[in-house]
Amino acid sequence: MQEVIERVLPRIVPLPEEEAELREVEKALIARVDEAARLHDRRLYSRLLGSASRGTWLRYEKDLDVFIFFPEEYTKQEMERVVSSIASEVLVEVQKRYAEHPYVRGRFMGYEVELVPCYAIREPSQIRSAVDRTPFHNDYVMGRIGGLENEVRLLKQFLRGIGCYGAEAKVEGFSGYLCELLVLRFGSFQRVLQSAATWKPGVVLALGEVEERAARRRFSSPLIFIDPVDENRNVAGALSLQRFSEFVYASKCFLREPAIEYFFPPPRRVSREELLGALSSRGTALVGVRFEAPDVVEDVLYPQLRKAHRLLRRQLEAGGFRVLGGTVHAGRNCHLVFELLESVLPAARLHLGPPVNSSHEERFLGKYREELSRPFILNGRWAVFTKRRHGSAAELLRDFLSGGELHSRGVPKHLAMSIQEHGFEVVEGEGCLEEEALLSVAEYLLPLFPWERGSG
Amino acid sequence: MQEVIERVLPRIVPLPEEEAELREVEKALIARVDEAARLHDRRLYSRLLGSASRGTWLRYEKDLDVFIFFPEEYTKQEMERVVSSIASEVLVEVQKRYAEHPYVRGRFMGYEVELVPCYAIREPSQIRSAVDRTPFHNDYVMGRIGGLENEVRLLKQFLRGIGCYGAEAKVEGFSGYLCELLVLRFGSFQRVLQSAATWKPGVVLALGEVEERAARRRFSSPLIFIDPVDENRNVAGALSLQRFSEFVYASKCFLREPAIEYFFPPPRRVSREELLGALSSRGTALVGVRFEAPDVVEDVLYPQLRKAHRLLRRQLEAGGFRVLGGTVHAGRNCHLVFELLESVLPAARLHLGPPVNSSHEERFLGKYREELSRPFILNGRWAVFTKRRHGSAAELLRDFLSGGELHSRGVPKHLAMSIQEHGFEVVEGEGCLEEEALLSVAEYLLPLFPWERGSG
């Protein structure tokens, strides 16, 4: 264990000269931002928050999160306008992004910078959106993390290596703040893993006292970590059961047999041929939908893609096609891929009608006079063999997505708009194995834990 | 309506000279049976029971049911021996049969005769098996049916025409006694149908007072007719929901548009070509099991065939094959036929395992190390893509029926014995359309009410 950690640390802990450089850049950046901000309103000021300020950033990360504090009378729109204007003066390569809150990205002396507007608030209970809580998180951690920074870095890198780092929608994993709290709670990287190896969904953690049952009633995620600055918030609220379970299992495996691959897994390499081979030995059918990715942040896009995947899966299943599983991928295009037990189905379908002698009998008999069979009685109910509406899964998907009014039929908004504006394509078999989606399809068809890639 | 009835009556009401002949034959038969019986035991005597005695037999039926009455100290075995001996003296072409009770069939002066042993009992409450109740039924009906015999004949012939006549297991329809009670209850053939046209499952009928709710609690068949000689018995207990519903619907149709086809439907004609055409437009797959019919009465055979059909259907469905329906047929061979949405399935199957970090985790991971995929985590549980055990329905059926110990695995006794002794064959597609089973398969694939055959 110690040997593995010794090999990891140099790759994630900044050298003293690197840290000094970051502090220089920070100083220059805050000065420039404050200067620009005060031109708008003398009450505005900025602070570096996040891992760079807390001393828990990873060596190779060059990210600086600068929060600009506004008096409470500012509206969101006004803050957005001011921050954009500051960014255009201070940063290069500026991009506006929208998540729960608008913010601006850009570059400054080689560093990735995020400029985030927030309200200057005295008490965490008065916050108006999630970003207002960040200053309090910073204050909480800064006062306690001293001496444990590298334990946090080890945990972050471990989580990144196993694919569980980041609370963003694409990952649904562990946030940096959650890593810091876990290290504060258990005292070291190793002790966090020792605890995690025993977790089952429903774990409740806190710094200080906590009523486990009450917490479980209030929050429904697999891990509940009560925020020390706000007892009504679960810091692990964005963690999915999938990522939770992967972390638990990875912790067990790592403790049993430590290896550097958990921190730095080899990249997965996969070829079309390998996937075609897997498909042929499975005997199943792939069908996919492809359309131009809408221009929205991943935090908006991924939930929409997953929702669309569930929707189309239900449509396929309602049409009689059995879906074994599938995956989504977002690149230049969006890809929704389904693996089916059958991509075509016979025409005949048993259609059950009302009970014999019920009030709906006449209507049923009038409507289904002559289908694949005449109406007949099956255990007291009317029945008829009718023709299936869609004989192939591809046809069903095409029909569903061509219909217009996609949003009102359950397709998430941005996807519906992209499909209606730019169209879509239904692809089958090999057609689903497009280069940009290849790895996602591989992760579905031939799942492999990142740390096992060497042996895969 | 009257016109149709006028055309039906001559075909079902015996001419006076035919009735006279029957009475002559009855007299001679009872005399011979009594003579032979008294040689065994002076206390034995016989009576003609059933429709011939009650005056409600159909013209073309030449059946005589003779009951031989024994003192109560006789055992079943002794009665069986005595009745066999009497039969061999009086009848020709004698056959022993076993249902709930042993009885003997044979011929006498051109008539089909059944010799049935029963106990001479004073009160219906003391009966020891169903046949002991028949004399009381006879007494009840004989005292009341006078003048309504032809109404009973019309109802019986109507039920026979629509395929609902007979309480035997093959039909699960209306017994002759139930027909008599229905006519007594409603007063005429037409009024029985007028009532039936309004029935829904759960009808309670009786001659005299009846507590409907109590009756429904005690009996669970679609029609409950309290036996006037035994209030603890439902005369319609053997009636299936299928035959009940068919009678209800036929009654409605006949009253709307009376036609002689309800009484005398044209025989159904069907060709292999027609069925092959139907199959091809359905696109489905037929698979069947064929084996030598065991030598048991139909009342034993049919329930076993239906049970075996349900059992194999469940096996197919557990193997992933979707069964649309099917049928059974008993001839020289027994045929169990299934219509499937798919007769072959791809190899891949999603096998769900225990939750991550549960006590069964180790065992699962050890067992499914390398299947079609490695084990992976799916929403908190272990999962793996494994190979399906049976890729084809025919293979699954062959495997199940080859296993031995068929009876202990749910195959009814007489079928299990026949299969283990003489073997079985699994047939597919055209192979299921054997001549002797053709009509049964047609009734399933292209259902057609008997009275609609002219237009079919």
Residues B234-290 pLDDT 10s? 999 999 999 999 999 999 999 999 999 999 999 999 999 999 999 999 999 999 999
**Pairing between strand B63-70 and A45-49?**
unpaired
Parts of chain A belonging to CATH 3.30.460.10: 14-131
Distance CA B229, CA B130 (A): 12
pLDDT at B455 over 70: no
∠ CA(B31), CA(B36), CA(B40), 5° rounding? 140
Parts of chain A belonging to CATH 3.30.70.1550: 348-387
DSSP-derived letter for residue A166 is -
Q: Determine the residue of chain A that is closest to B456 in CA distance.
A: A374
DSSP-H helix ranges across B13-148: 16-40, 51-54, 76-90, 134-142
Parts of chain A belonging to CATH 3.30.70.590: 272-344+391-455
Q: Is B241 helix (H, G, I), strand (E, B) or coil?
A: helix
Q: How far is A350 from chain B (nearest CA, A)?
A: 7
Question: What is the average per-residue pLDDT within B140-150?
Answer: 96
> What is the C-alpha R_g of chain A?
27
∠ CA(A250), CA(A251), CA(A253), 5° rounding? 65
Q: What is the pLDDT of residue A456?
A: 46
Q: What is the pLDDT of residue A403?
A: 79
Q: Determine the residue of chain A that is closest to B365 in CA distance.
A: A249
CB–CB of A357 and B249 under 8 A? yes
Which residues make beta-bridge pairs with A102? Answer: A98
Main-chain dihedrals φ then ψ at residue B10, nearest 5 degrees: -60, -25
Which residues make beta-bridge pairs with B46? Answer: B68
More confident call, B37 vs B125: B37
Q: What is the CATH number of domain A149-262?
A: 1.10.1410.30
Tell me what percent of chain B is helix, strand and coil, each rounded to the nearest 5. Answer: 45, 20, 30
State in words which class domain A348-387 has.
Answer: alpha beta
Q: Flag the least confident range among A119-128, A346-355, A431-440, B80-89.
A: A119-128
Asked if B39 contacts B85 with a C-beta cutoff of 8 angstroms, the reply is no
pLDDT in tens, A316-340: 999 999 999 999 999 999 999 999 9
| Chain B residues closer than 8 Å to A338 by CB | none
Asked if A347 contacts A372 with a C-beta cutoff of 8 angstroms, the reply is yes
Distance CA B454, CA B456 (A): 6
Q: What is the pLDDT of residue A32?
A: 97
Distance CA A355, CA A361 (A): 7
**Residue B312: closest CA among B344, B274, B339:** B339
Q: What percent of chain B has pLDDT over 90?
A: 91
pLDDT in tens, A398-426: 999 997 899 999 999 999 999 999 999 99
Q: What is the pLDDT of residue B454?
A: 78
CB–CB of B201 and A347 under 8 A? no
Asked if A326 contacts A410 with a C-beta cutoff of 8 angstroms, the reply is no
Structure confidence at residue B382 as a pLDDT band (50, 70, 90)? very high
Q: Is A14 helix (H, G, I), strand (E, B) or coil?
A: coil
Q: What percent of chain B has pLDDT over 70?
A: 99
CB–CB of A248 and B356 under 8 A? yes
pLDDT at B456 over 50: no
Distance CA B46, CA B66 (A): 7
| Chain B residues closer than 8 Å to A317 by CB | none
Q: Give every strand in the sheet of B348-355, ordered side by side.
A: B348-355, B381-387, B376-378
Q: Flag the least confident range among A115-129, A264-278, A341-355, B61-75.
A: A115-129
pLDDT at A13 over 50: yes
Architecture in CATH of B14-131? 2-Layer Sandwich (3.30)
ipTM: 0.92
Q: What is the CATH number of domain A272-344+391-455?
A: 3.30.70.590
Q: What is the pLDDT of residue A124?
A: 86
Q: Which of A313, A339, A356, A449 to mutate to test the interface with B (most CBs of B within 10 A)?
A: A356
pLDDT in tens, A178-191: 999 999 999 999 99
Structure confidence at residue B404 as a pLDDT band (50, 70, 90)? confident
Structure tokens at B149: 């015999």
| Chain B residues closer than 8 Å to A222 by CB | 380
Q: Phi/psi zone of residue A379: left (φ > 0), alpha (ψ -120 to 50 degrees), beta?
A: left
CB–CB of B374 and A448 under 8 A? yes
The set of residues, in sequence order, having a beta carbon less than 8 Å from that of A346 and lying 6+ positions away, is A388, A391, B282, B283, B284, B285, B341, B342
DSSP-derived letter for residue A165 is B
Q: What is the pLDDT of residue A455?
A: 63
Q: Is A172 helix (H, G, I), strand (E, B) or coil?
A: coil
DSSP-H helix ranges across B262-392: 272-282, 298-318, 361-367
Distance CA B34, CA B45 (A): 5
Structure confidence at residue A439 as a pLDDT band (50, 70, 90)? very high
Distance CA A285, CA A326 (A): 11
Q: Flag the least confident range among A98-102, A227-231, A313-317, B238-242.
A: A98-102
Question: What is the average per-residue pLDDT within B427-435?
Answer: 95
Residues, chain B: 456
**Residue B97: closest CA among B115, B70, B110:** B115
Q: How far is A358 from chain B (nearest CA, A)?
A: 8
pLDDT in tens, B203-223: 999 998 888 899 999 999 999
Q: Determine the residue of chain A that is closest to B252 in CA distance.
A: A357
Average of per-residue pLDDT values in chain A: 95
CB–CB of B357 and A244 under 8 A? no
Q: What is the pLDDT of residue B97?
A: 80
